[in-house]
Structure formats: structure tokens, C-alpha cells
């Protein structure tokens, strides 16, 4: 799942005159509902689709390799264009970009719900990511310009942060309910009334100050295109072999585009990703660690969803509720770590957290087709969540430690970008590992499972379930390795000291 938000440093908003009047209070209340609804919609969309994956796969006949693209296409577009979306808000106005982003997101949700095949569904998911990348960076800035300093703004900031925390849980429960009661298409259709209501309410928001500069469109195209080519190469290599012409062409295109991206960032006057931010070893280490965290966390939700529904036979609603310990564990650990960061350096908190998360993933790697929820799934889920929750806040602090004020926003946004991109790359690698391991035991294991269920062939169902479970456990073991790699980077590179407050740092959301 994703952590779908960004952080920006916005100019201080005007102290709205008459803020204490009933009409001003109603105006601010509506503005808060608008921003909260938009933030919730963007955050939950990464998780709401996860629960519907088995239903989508059955209905549209999606292959195992392409199933990951339904998650990854959103993450790549969102993560790849997040910084460009923030810059667009600076140049053209936060409210205007917020409106454009929500409109694009809503239209893409309609197209996703109507998609007759996997290709158009993936295209709609990319468009959703574009809309989210335009809307999300502006939400925080619009809070500072719309709400007067003091209690109104503090309340708004608290609600904004809470939406990131509850978004993943709401997405899981809502996705399960809609898929069970109605149809998987409603996980997309549900965004349409919310998006239209948010658009209608944007007139209550106060426009932020604009800043000079220009968009780094060539950088955005090169960077995002390179990442898509890389993920495509990994996915295709696992499915058709690593020496195939298209696989090698994808890797070559990725190398050329990503090299061009770095070249452009070093030479353009207004880079999308200022390379000066990476000169600090601790900050670079924080970004690298978040890349590994994202890689392991996306995979956790993806493979557990498939395991719960395909192997254990859970309904979508039951699957959504089964994930609640994960949300509770992460929220509890994040709350504790936010207090500990004032007393300890970030790596002292994040390092043990990543070790605990790796233990949880190794626990998942021991799953069997008949493992119990209370004795195996739930405790492993809670342990993993505790570890990850301990890691988020310290990594945010490490990323913005020692950054000049004008770079605080982009430094914090880069952390969210790293999590999204890490998630997409990690899921591409781990879904390849999982599919290869499963198919080694039984060729086309997922297809065999569906054939067995349709024919009521219990022997084939059992054989396919065993093969798929083997694939999932191999992916969990590899995800544990990613958390341990993040631990190594944290121990070696993240040397920021303890900090009591970081100006402009928004929370990294746990989706």
C-alpha cells in the first residue's frame, strides 16, 4: 500500500478577519471537510483496490504478472509525478492545481469502473496517479492559507494527518464491503460522488501565493518513463525470461531514461529533484531506507490479500477486517516513536524497528495453506506493523534534518516519492519471485486454482494452493531481506541527531 501524500512548505496564511463569526466558522468547517475528503480519497485509493484484486483478476482474466500492474501503475504515476505536481501548484496556484487534480482523479475513477479489460484499467490507474500527484501536494499548503494561525489551523493539520493514518484502514474495509455487496467496479465508482463534492467545495479554499520558476517537464518524462521501463523489464523478465528481446530493450530504455533524468536534474535551473539534497549522507540514507520500507510494505498487503482470499477462502469484507491489527499496530508504534525522537537519534529508533519488521516478515514466510488467523496471521501482522510504525517518523526526521527552509518541502516530499517508487519496484521484484516459485511447483498455478475451483476438483485446488502459498512465502522472505537492507543503510548512513521539532515536515502516511 501506499503512502499517498506529500509535504510542502507554504507561505503563512493570512489571519482571516472575522474568523470567530458563525459564518466564518461554517466556512472553515466546510473547507476542512473538503481537504480531509480529498486527502482520504487519494490515500485510500492505494489500498481499496488491493482487496478487489482477486475479483478483478477473475472478471477480466488478468495474468499473475499483470495483476501487480493494477497496483504499480498508480504508484509509479503518483510517485513519479509528485514533485512536479508540487511545483505546478507553486507556479499556477495551489487551489487551481488542487481542482485540476481532483477532476482528473474523478474522471479516471469513472474510466476505471467502466474498464472492459486490463489494459484500460491500468491506463485509468495511471491517470488516477496523475490526478493524485497534482492534488496531494496542494492540500497542506491550502490549509495554511485557508485557516488562521492558532487552534483552527492546528485542528486542520491534525485532521489532515489523521486522514493519512486512517486512509489505509478505511480503504481496506470499504474495498471489501463494496466488492462483496456490489461489485469490484464500485471501488472506483465510489470516488465519483466524493470527487464531485470536493470540487464543489473548493470555493471555500483560499488561494496560496504563487512563486516564480518553471516546470521540469523533460525531467518528469525521463524519470517516470525510466521507472515504468524498469518495472516492465522486471515483470516481463520473470514471465518470459531475462534474455528476451523486449525484456532487454526495457532495461536498456530504463538505463538511458534514468541517466537522462539525472543529467537533466544536474543541469536545469529549476530541477524537479534538486540533487543538492543528496549531498548529505544521512538524508540520502533516509531516502534509501524508505525505498526499502516501501518495497517490503507494498508486498505485505498485496500478497496477504491474495493469500487470505485465494488460499484461506476469505471474503473481501473479511479480508478487510483481517488487516485491522496491521493498522492498529502501525498507528500505536508511530505514536510512540514520535515521542522517542525527541530523546534519541533517528537510527536508534528506526534500526530496531526495521529488525522487528523483518522478524514479522520471516514469520509470514512460514505460512502454510491451512495456517490459522489467530495463531499465525494476526501476530505476524502485528509484529510487522509495530516495526514499520517505529520507522516512519525517524525517517521523516532524518530526511529533513539540516535542510534549508526553502528545501524542507521538497525534502519531505522526496521521502513520500521514495516510498511510492520503492513500493512499485519492490512489488515488481517480489511478484516475479512469487510467480516463479509457484510455477516451479505447478505451472500456471493461479490458473490451475481457478480451474480447480470451477470444476470442484479438490485435489487440483489443494495442489495449486500449496504452490501459490510457496510463492507467497518466498516473496515474504525476500521482503524481510529488503527490511534488513534498509536496516543496514540506516545503521551505516543515517547519522542525524535527535530533534524536537522539524518545521514543515509532514507525516509520511502509511498506506
Distance CA 511, CA 507 (A): 12
Q: pLDDT (tens digit, 9 = 90+) per residue, 436-458? A: 888 888 888 878 888 888 888 88
| Percentage of the residues of the chain whose pLDDT score is greater than 70 | 84
On the question of a common fold for 27-211 and 277-500, the answer reads: yes
Cell of 144: 495554511
| Mean pLDDT in residue range 162-175 | 72
Distance CA 309, CA 316 (A): 7
Distance CA 263, CA 267 (A): 6
Confidence at 111, pLDDT banded by 50, 70, 90? very high
Q: pLDDT (tens digit, 9 = 90+) per residue, 59-105? A: 888 877 778 888 888 888 888 888 888 778 777 877 888 889 999 99
Is it true that domain 277-500 has CATH number 1.20.1250.20?
yes
CB atoms under 10 Å from CB of 463, counted, come to 17
Residue 190 near residue 41, CB atoms below 8 Å: no
Cell of 103: 477532476
Query: What's the pLDDT score for residue 360?
Result: 93
Residue written as grid cell 520500507: 293
Residue written as grid cell 464543489: 200
What residues contact 2, with CB distance under 8 A and at least 6 apart?
43, 46, 47, 74, 75, 78, 298, 419, 420, 423, 509, 511
What are the extents of the domains in the chain?
27-211, 217-267, 277-500
Pick the CATH number of 27-211 from 1.10.10.10, 1.20.1250.20, 3.40.640.10, 3.40.50.300: 1.20.1250.20
Q: pLDDT (tens digit, 9 = 90+) per residue, 16-40? A: 433 444 444 557 777 777 777 787 7
313, exposed or middle or buried, with CB in 10 Å at 0-12, 13-18, 19+? exposed
Residue 303 near residue 476, CB atoms below 8 Å: yes
More confident residue, 104 or 425: 104
Query: What's the pLDDT score for residue 476?
Result: 94
Residue written as grid cell 489571519: 15
Distance CA 381, CA 327 (A): 9
| DSSP state for residue 273 in the 8-state scheme | S
CB atoms under 10 Å from CB of 459, counted, come to 8
Query: What's the pLDDT score for residue 501?
Result: 46
> The pTM is what?
0.80
Helix/strand/coil for 117: coil
Nearest to 170 by CA among 153, 147, 194, 146: 194
Residue written as grid cell 516546470: 215
Helix/strand/coil for 315: coil
Q: pLDDT (tens digit, 9 = 90+) per residue, 304-316? A: 988 998 888 888 8
Amino acid at each position: 500500500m501506499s503512502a499517498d501524500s506529500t509535504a510542502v512548505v507554504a507561505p503563512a496564511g493570512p489571519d482571516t478577519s472575522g474568523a470567530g463569526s458563525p459564518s466564518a466558522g461554517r466556512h472553515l468547517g466546510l473547507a476542512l471537510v473538503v481537504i480531509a475528503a480529498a486527502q482520504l480519497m487519494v490515500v485510500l485509493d492505494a489500498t481499496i483496490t488491493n482487496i478487489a484484486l482477486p475479483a478483478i483478476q477473475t472478471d477480466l482474466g488478468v495474468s499473475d504478472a499483470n495483476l501487480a500492474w493494477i497496483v504499480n501503475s498508480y504508484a509509479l504515476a503518483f510517485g513519479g509525478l509528485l514533485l512536479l505536481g508540487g511545483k505546478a501548484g507553486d507556479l499556477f496556484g495551489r487551489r487551481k492545481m488542487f481542482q485540476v487534480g481532483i477532476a482528473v482523479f474523478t474522471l479516471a475513477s469513472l474510466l476505471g469502473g467502466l474498464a472492459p479489460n486490463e489494459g484500460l484499467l491500468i491506463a485509468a490507474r495511471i491517470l488516477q496517479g496523475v490526478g493524485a500527484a497534482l492534488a496531494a501536494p496542494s492540500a497542506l499548503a491550502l490549509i495554511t492559507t485557508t485557516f488562521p494561525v492558532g487552534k483552527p489551523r492546528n485542528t486542520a493539520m491534525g485532521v489532515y494527518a489523521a486522514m493519512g493514518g486512517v486512509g489505509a484502514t478505511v480503504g481496506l474495509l470499504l474495498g471489501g464491503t463494496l466488492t462483496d455487496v456490489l461489485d469490484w467496479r464500485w471501488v472506483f465508482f465510489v470516488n465519483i460522488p466524493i470527487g464531485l463534492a470536493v470540487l464543489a467545495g473548493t470555493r471555500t479554499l483560499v488561494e496560496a501565493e504563487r512563486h516564480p520558476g518553471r516546470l521540469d517537464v523533460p525531467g518528469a518524462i525521463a524519470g517516470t518513463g525510466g521507472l515504468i521501463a524498469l518495472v516492465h523489464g522486471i515483470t516481463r523478465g520473470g514471465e518470459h525470461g531475462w534474455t528476451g528481446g523486449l525484456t532487454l530493450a526495457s532495461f536498456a530504455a530504463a538505463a538511458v531514461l534514468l541517466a537522462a533524468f539525472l543529467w537533466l536534474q544536474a543541469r536545469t535551473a529549476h530541477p524537479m529533484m534538486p540533487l543538492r539534497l543528496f549531498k548529505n549522507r544521512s538524508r540520502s540514507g533516509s531516502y534509501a531506507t524508505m525505498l526499502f520500507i516501501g518495497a517490503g510494505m507494498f508486498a505485505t498487503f498485496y500478497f496477504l490479500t491474495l493469500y487470505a482470499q485465494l488460499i484461506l477462502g476469505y471474503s473481501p469484507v473479511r479480508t478487510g477486517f483481517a488487516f485491522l491489527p496491521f493498522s492498529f499496530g502501525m498507528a500505536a508504534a508511530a505514536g510512540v516513536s514520535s515521542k522517542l525522537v525527541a530523546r534519541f537519534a533517528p537510527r536508534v529508533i528506526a534500526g530496531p524497528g526495521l529488525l522487528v519488521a523483518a522478524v514479522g516478515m520471516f514469520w509470514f514466510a512460514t505460512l502454510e495453506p491451512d495456517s490459522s488467523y489467530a495463531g499465525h496471521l494476526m501476530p505476524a501482522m502485528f509484529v510487522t506493523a509495530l516495526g514499520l510504525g517505529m520507522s516512519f517518523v525517524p525517517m521523516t526526521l532524518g530526511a529533513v534534518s539540516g535542510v534549508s527552509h526553502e528545501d524542507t518541502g521538497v525534502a519531505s516530499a522526496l521521502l513520500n516519492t521514495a516510498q511510492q517508487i520503492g513500493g512499485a519496484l519492490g512489488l515488481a521484484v517480489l511478484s516475479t519471485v512469487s510467480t516463479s516459485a509457484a510455477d516451479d511447483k505447478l505451472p500456471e498455478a493461479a490458473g490451475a486454482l481457478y480451474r480447480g475451483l470451477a470444476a470442484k476438483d479438490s485435489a487440483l485446488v489443494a495442489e495449486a494452493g500449496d504452490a501459490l502459498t510457496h510463492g507467497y512465502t518466498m516473496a515474504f522472505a525476500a521482503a524481510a531481506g529488503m527490511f534488513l537492507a534498509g536496516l543496514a543503510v540506516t545503521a551505516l548512513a543515517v547519522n542525524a541527531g535527535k530533534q524536537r521539532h522539524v518545521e514543515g515536515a509532514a507525516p509520511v502516511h502509511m498506506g
